[in-house]
Structure 1
Amino acid sequence: MTRQKRSDDWGFPRWRPYGAKSRDAARVRLCDRVGCDLPGDRPAPKSPNSKERWYFCEGHAAEYNKNWNYFVGLSKEEAAKRAAEEEAGASAFRRSAHYQWGGPGDGTRSRDEMRALSVLGLDSDAEYKEIRTAYRQLAKEHHPDLKQGDKDAEQRFREIQAAYDVLKAAEERKTGKPA
């Protein structure tokens, strides 16, 4: 009886898939973007409502899809049907938001805080000192006493004040003392 030799094939994906019968290197499709040497493993439609696909690397797929409108050329009913189908496939992500897995940023700030930071023109990781400085600067710029009769400046000042109130309350909750 002949004893079988143990295989040294660990199936590293770089060379071949697991359990491959052949020991030849696996063929890798390159990115369809001219001059790119990365693997093209992200499919993107060539035109709206088409089955044909380009295959890009992650960076080029993001660039290609940035301004893509999947609803172009569809009637309102068809667009609504497609949107409903896509939402049905993303229900797990929507449910995960309840557990703050799908929330904004790293989960340390609420959506209201993120909106408030965008009103003040700050990044999501801004410290309270930066928030206070940005608030004071914007409040001085848009204060109704400086721009009397300007309704836009008045509205902008209200938005800035509301954003600061949200962030101030969050800071007080976090530290346990008045900000």
Structure 2
Amino acid sequence: MSRARRSNDWGFPRWRGYESTREAAQVRLCDRHGCTEPGKCPAPKSPNSPDRWYFCEKHAAEYNSKWDYFEGLSKEEAASRAGREQRENAGYAESAHYGWGGSGDGSRSQDEMRALEVLELEGDADFEAIKREWRARAKKVHPDVKPGDKEAAEEFQKLQLAYEVLKSAEERRTWKG
């Protein structure tokens, strides 16, 4: 007489051994031709389209670096859409100073990046470098150094405004409140 083998799950199927009756899981591969990595990152095929590509992380980063959100729009349409989205997302922009980030990690606003361009500095410049560059440039075009020169006065105003933008951003970042 053969005896029936007893189960170890005691009537609870979850107690069975892992992977005992698991079927093969389907994995979607990256949509980039020739890539065999799993495609976990959805990316839009075109603006305002529900269709998506599915890329691996490497190819998603490559695709996004070339993505133009305003492709196919005229300059006026692109400017109006950018303005509308900036107004609608104002709360998010105002909360940016709560981030931990310092300079160079993507935490700089468009205004800060434009101010850095005026001073001809890189996006990851620290505040000491900003202050040094501002002083050096301001000394060359200061109205006391070049009295009556309208171009120098305009340049000095640009430098002053850029410095004020960067200074207030630095104060927001370092404020411990």
Whose radius of gyration is greater, 1 or 2? 2
CA distance in 2, matches of 1:2, 1:62: 49
> What amino acid is aligned across from residue 41 of structure 2 in structure 1?
R
When the two structures are superposed, what TM-score results if normalisation uses the length of structure 1?
0.51
Post-superposition offset of 1:150: 6.3
SS at match of 1:30: coil
- Give CA-to-partner distance per residue, 1:124-177, whole Å, 9 cap, x none: 56042x22222134335655657x8563x5433312123334555756xx69xx
Q: Deviations over 1:23-77 (max 9, x none)?
A: 244232222123434321222233445443221123423432443336747xx7x
Structure 2 CA distance for aligned equivalents of residues 54 and 31 of structure 1: 8
RMSD: 4.9
Residue matched to 1:106: 101
Please give the residue correspondences for 1:72-111 in structure 2 after superposition, counting only pairs within 5 Å. Answer: 72=72, 94=91, 97-98=94-95, 100-101=97-98, 106=101
Q: Offset at 1:95?
A: 5.5
Which residue number in structure 2 is paired with residue 126 of structure 1?
A: 126
Superposed, 1:26-175 pairs within 5 Å as 26-65=25-64, 66-69=66-69, 72=72, 94=91, 97-98=94-95, 100-101=97-98, 106=101, 114=112, 116-117=115-116, 119-120=118-119, 121-124=121-124, 126-128=126-128, 130-139=129-138, 151=151, 154-165=153-164, 167=166
TM-score (normalised: structure 2): 0.51
For 1:132, what is the secondary structure of its paired residue? helix
Structure 1 residues 155 and 64: alpha-carbon distance in aligned structure 2, compared to 1, 3 A threshold: farther
1:66-111 CA-partner distances (Å, limit 9, x unpaired): 43336747xx7xx97xx78xx98xx7x946954844x5x7178885
User: Structure 1: where are the runs of 5+ without partners?
Assistant: 12-20
In the alignment, is residue 4 of structure 1 matched against residue 47 of structure 2?
A: no
How many aligned positions are there? Answer: 149
Q: Is the 1:112–1:166 contact (alpha carbons within 8 Å) kept by the matching residues of 2? A: no
Confirm or deny: 8 A CA contact 1:48 1:72 kept in the other structure. Answer: no
Identity of aligned residues (%): 37
Q: Which runs of 5+ in 2 are unaligned?
A: 1-5
The answer for the alignment partner of 1:16 in structure 2 is: none
Instruction: Give the partner amino acid of 2:26.
Output: R
- Quickly say closer, same or farther: Cα 1:71–1:133, change in 2 above 3 A: closer
CA contact (8 A) 1:45 1:52 kept: yes
